[in-house]
Structure 1
Amino acid sequence: MTDYRIALIPGDGIGREVTPAACAVLDAVGARHGIAFTYDEFDWSCARYRALGAMMPDDGLSRIRRHDAIFLGAVGDPSVPDHVSLWGLLIPIRRGFRQYVNLRPVKVFEGVESPVRRAVAGEVDLVVVRENVEGEYSEIGGRLGRGFPEEMAVQEAVFTRAGVTRVADYAFSLAASRRNRLTSATKSNGIVHTLPFWDELVAEVGTSYPDVTWDAEHIDALCAKVVLDPARFDVIVASNLFGDILSDLTAAVAGSIGIAPAANINPEREFPSMFEPVHGSAPDIAGRGIANPLGAVWTAAMLLDHLGHPEAAKEIEQAMAAVLAKTPIRTPDLGGSATTEAFTKTILEFLGM
């Protein structure tokens, strides 16, 4: 029996509702594969911020540093500004643990209707590789002249050779293991310094992968092409901001952001990686028991794959696909009326539990 310690951060809103679904699936599949999970739960959240003035304690990172992985349910609440909640929890973990790859797979499943006419089940299968710790989301900048007519805000983007090269290398390597096709998101026609630098470094890395066919697309045109012909894409590599936008766009193309998973990866494994569904805390439906658990369940599969159990991860994905293809069970975001609990129970049944 292989035992893993997971730092569990249910967080806010529906994060507290879908995290138990992910744990139930991990435990069920793990039992069949000789894998056990120990969950150490942390109350780091907006509720904690309201009570104590901080999303997590000052020594938060050291408390989870030795865990095998981190599972985060969601972050955010209307009572706490988004920049406070994100910069108080999610971003410090990503940066403190050098999780410089944000990995977001996207598929159109049979039984899920995409709002995009050409997004067909079995044809759309892509991955967005987002640079996760620098780029446009830097901490460099500030506000000047607050309250006066000349008030201004300055935000600096930071692109380093090391940062761009390592995420590009990860993306090319991933493409080489899939369909040998990569697209780089850029905007070098309008952003005169950072994005031409990005283009140059992606091209440099590309020379090491002669079997991977790749091109660069300006982000505005790329968004249009993802909608018009999503099946043409395999791996898309992008800066922090562009990757963030593309991830939600591609999730919507797949039919629901409630399905979408994500992983914040430290490829060198010097630190634990963090896994989180993309849907956010969804305060509008929190507490109603109708959140779609598929994003969390697929995220659990990504966690298993990262820990070295691809067969177990594949079983989870196959069970998800079977539920969608063979049953009418759907949560409201997919046009049904099932509860989170009922949907989770159905997934477990298809896993043979």
Structure 2
Amino acid sequence: MKLAVMAGDGIGPEVMNEALKVLNTLSSLDSTLQLEMEELPWSSAYYMETGRMMPADALSYLQHFDAILFGAIGDARVPDEVTIWDLIMPIRKEFQQYVNVRPVKQLKGVASPLDTKAPIDFVVFRENAEGEYSHMGGRMYGQTSQEMAVQTTVMTKAGIRRLSRYGFDYARKHGKKTVTSATKSNAIIHTMKLWDDVVREVGQEYPEIRLSPVYIDALAAYFINRPESFEVVIASNLFGDILTDLGAGIVGGLGLSPSANLNPEGQFPSMFEPIHGSAPDISGKGIANPVAQIWSAALMLEHNGRPDLSDLVMNGMEAVLAEQEIRTPDLGGKSSTADMGDAIIRAIHAHT
């Protein structure tokens, strides 16, 4: 597997180091896992040196990799719209990584801040290539009292259909009974009504699965009131982004939440990253939780045909968390980033 590694900014290099240690451990334990990893320096520091977040030919270069493992991006010296739109967005959009997979799963040994009736365990599939995160629009009459801004949401039948079908296929494959669709078509009467129409059309191909459209404001409340009732959630780009940060909060925090940006057809490499940011407040302290980054690497292994190794990583992480001896400060402990990574590696060895 040829892997592009972009650690990025802030705590990105710290948590990425632990994920790479885990991948190297797996490679040493299983000779069939051949990893060719190339670390790329594209980050805010790279921007400060070159005036670009990545080289002009970066996408052509990345296209030759099997997968991209990404850390975090964000630096006070560089505007957020630059770090996002000159690095992450071109990769997601140009590589048609239209499925953003974000598990919302309460791991063993991690308590939810909610008083739930059962463990929280569902998946959000977020449309990742169009929707509200569009570069279409602009501002006029700057620095005057008449200043105005227009931001255009782009939704297509093809884009909604392919994301919806991926969510329903997942539900069918894993024996799930309900797919919840995040909408707001009572107020956003053009794009979200198209969303509803296409999702409903796709849902008719899966008669054994119940489609449950829920307005986004109510859905956010239900994530708090009854999160254990969800199995599969499909959402637009913006709605999915907000819901999954909320989802991370109810299962232990951003340090435990991974994601996968998938091009399901394999025409382009997919990208795997934790949903947390660069966390400048704790950068350099060696206390960031690496679980989300390591879990993202596990998602990468699963997507690239090694569910056995992905399961091994997951079992190792949950074993460490269940013991509750090694815990980073976000989980109420005093362990370091490296302590957590090393403990997961020991647990992986113990499970082989």
TM (normalized to structure 2)?
0.97
Partner of 1:90: 88
Gaps of 5+ in 1: none
Which of 216, 227, 230 is matched with 2:227 structurally? 230
Matched, 1:215 2:204: no
Find the residue that maps to 1:106 and give its secondary structure.
strand
Residue in 2 that maps onto 1:164: 160
2:123 corresponds to 1:127: yes
Closer/same/farther in 2, CA of residues 29 and 119 from structure 1, 3 Å limit:
farther
Structure 2 unmatched ranges of 5 or more: none
Match of 2:319 in 1: 322
The letter for the 2-side match of 1:101 is V
Match of residue 274 from structure 1 = 271
Counterpart amino acid of residue 220 in structure 2: C
Task: Please give the secondary structure, in 1, of the residue aligned with 2:3.
Answer: strand
SS in 1 for 2:34: strand
The counterpart of 1:112, out of the listed 96, 100, 110, is: 110
Aligned to 1:102: 100
Q: What is the count of residue pairs matched by the alignment?
A: 348
1:293 to 290, 294, 300: 290
Paired position in structure 2 for 1:284: 281
Deviations 1:297-320 (A, max 9, x none): 100100000110111101111111
Per-residue CA deviation, residues 11-45 of structure 1 (Å, 9 max, x unaligned), is 00111101111111112123333202111111100
- Per the alignment, residue 148 of structure 1 pairs with 144
> 1:180 offset after TM fit, Å?
2.7
Which 10-residue stretch deviates more, 175-184 or 150-159? 175-184
In the alignment, is residue 337 of structure 1 matched against residue 334 of structure 2?
Answer: yes
Q: 2:202 aligns to what?
A: 205
**Separation of aligned partners in 2, 1:130 and 1:21:** 27
CA contact (8 A) 1:119 1:253 kept: no
Counterparts of 1:62 and 1:299, CA distance in 2: 24
Residue 136 (1) aligns with residue 132 (2): yes
- The code of the aligned residue for 2:144 comes to F
The 3 A distance-change label for structure 1 pair 92 and 119 is farther
Q: Which residue of 2 aligns with 1:78?
A: 76
Do structure 1's residue 31 and structure 2's residue 28 form an aligned pair? Answer: yes
Classify the secondary structure of the residue corresponding to 1:352. helix
What is the letter of the counterpart of residue 218 of structure 2?
A: A
Q: Equivalent of 1:176, from 169, 172, 177?
A: 172
Residue by residue, what CA displacement relative to the aligned partner does 1:142-183 show, whole Å, maximum 9, x if unpaired? 000001100000001010011000000001101112223210
Q: Which residue in the other structure is 2:66 paired with? A: 68
Identity of aligned residues (%): 48
Matching of residue 252 in structure 1 with residue 249 in structure 2: yes
3-state SS of paired residue (2:149): strand
The alignment partner of 2:211 has SS state of strand
Cα root mean square deviation, aligned: 1.0
Matches of 1:190 and 1:328, distance apart in 2: 49
CA distance in 2, matches of 1:174, 1:245: 22
What's the offset of the Cα at 1:119? 6.7
What amino acid is aligned across from residue 151 of structure 1 in structure 2?
E
Please, what TM-score do these two structures have when normalized by structure 1?
Answer: 0.97
Cα distance in 2 for partners of 1:239, 1:61 equals 25
Distance 2:275 2:117 in 1: 20
| Inter-partner Cα distance in structure 2 for 1:180 and 1:273 | 28
Report if the CA contact (8 A) 2:200-2:211 is conserved: no
Distance 1:210 1:318 in 2: 34
**Paired position in structure 2 for 1:7:** 4
1:47 corresponds to: 45
Shift >6 Å, 4+ stretches: none
